Amino acid sequence: MSNRVVITGIGWVTPLGHQIEGVWSAMLAGKSGIGPTTHFDATTFPTRFSGEVRDYDYRQYVKQPQLHDGVSLNTSFALGAAAMAWQGAGLGQGESVAPDRLGIYLGSGEGSIDFDNYVTANVLSWDAQKKQIDAPRWAGEAMHRLTATRELEQEPNMPLSHLAMEFGAQGPAYNCLTACAASTQAIGEATQILRRGDAEVMISGGAHSMIHPFGVTGFNRLTALSRRNDAPTTASRPFSVDRDGFVLGEGAGMLVLETLDHAQKRGAKILAEITGYGSSADAFRITDMHAEGRGPVAAMTLALKDAAINPPQVDYISAHGTGTHENDAIETRAIKVVFGDAAPRVPVSSIKSMTGHLIAAAGAVEAITCVLAIRDQVLPPTINLHQPDPECDLDYVPNTARKAKVETCLSNSFGFGGQNNTLVIRAWQP
């Protein structure tokens, strides 16, 4: 018989702030964390706004800041969110966890490139002016500006490495980067590790920032980003007929997961239980979802089967809900396939309307909102939804938070490349 897996700690760093209660209050109030991009000079870009983390210093959260000098934004976000989750779980210095029974599974992205500003100021401007790049001079400048430590910090595994040092975790250690599905996959796979007894405690979630010249350029070239530069706070419009793309965000979400037996032995406060996980691939195209949503349908179906529940037992769906024409319509279609006649009665909302899209970190932050929705019996809204797309005809909790009975939540994440992951999170029931 497999172990039951419970959530005992949560923490996040988001464009709406970096305290659990403050961010949650902002979401329930329908506030937006989107504003002009300041990480780099975006004045020449088609999209000049994003969801940036503001007024944040990871050193106020960690116990050993000397171990983390020079970290990337991704790692800094991961450290703060994990420290909040760790303290919230009542683990203190970790005396109640054997190091080899403490693991980490993250869905974290690459760090920002050390010479972003150099590339922006020189390479991009040279290209715009149709000038020939002086390769030797460019290479020399890059060598001069790039440091060995910063090069290492760009690697996607580095947030995991720093968390392991901070918390003394010597158990299973994994990082996946399945695009926008990454941190949901990490939580699901961490759950499987605990179920089979390979660890007793797992720190799991994700961290990411793609708010840099290469990240924004890539998404602009894909025509995936909104270009509402005159109204950034209303630019993220999931399920709206006039949506024109997602808004890039950044941050981290971290959860402390434990086997039920371990949590109960130490008297931990249990916030919720993970009862289901489903994963699938579209096997279709790199940037396009299958028109019938076969990947999302499979992920949701597998998660419900794993949780041993039927669709009508779900009280809330935290949608992937990016605000692109393709995603919102196909996710709606997939929900209808899985839920059948129950689909119109299940509330669905997208917090990306407020935070922007945190890419690899998005799923973990959305899983945390499910935990809080269960705790407070309230659903976060989809803001900026005043003219629903006729293809998107479900109950998206438009614009205003809603009190509701919430015992079982389903959280969806779908990534470029066709990766799909779904979690079922339920109220703790002894």
From the list 262, 320, 370, 392, the catalytic residue is 320
Residue positions counted in the chain: 430
- For residue 319, CA distances in Å to 156, 238, 329 come to 26, 10, 12
Is 320 assigned a catalytic role? Answer: yes
Reported as type and span, the H/E element at residue 36 is strand 35-36
Backbone φ and ψ for 275, nearest 5 degrees, come out as -110, -15
The DSSP symbol for 158 reads H
From the list 18, 68, 212, 357, the catalytic residue is: 357
Q: Long-range contacts: 152-155, Cβ < 8 Å, 24+?
A: 153/70, 153/71, 153/72, 153/75, 153/111, 154/72, 154/110, 154/111, 154/112, 154/113, 154/114, 155/110, 155/111
Lookup: tokens for 303: 């998660």
Residue 19 per-residue DSSP state: S
Tokens of 118: 């150099």
Cα separation of 191 and 186, whole Å? 8
The residues, ordered by sequence, that sit 6+ positions from 41 with a Cβ below 8 Å of its Cβ are 120
- Give dist(CA 110, CA 312) in Å, integer: 39
Active-site entry in 18, 162, 180, 409? 180
Does residue 180 have an active-site annotation?
A: yes
212 is catalytic: no
- Residue 54: which region, alpha, beta or left (left: phi > 0; alpha: psi -120 to 50)? beta
Please state, in angstroms and rounded to a whole number, the distance separating the CA atoms of residues 83 and 81. Answer: 6
- The catalytic residue positions are 180, 320, 357
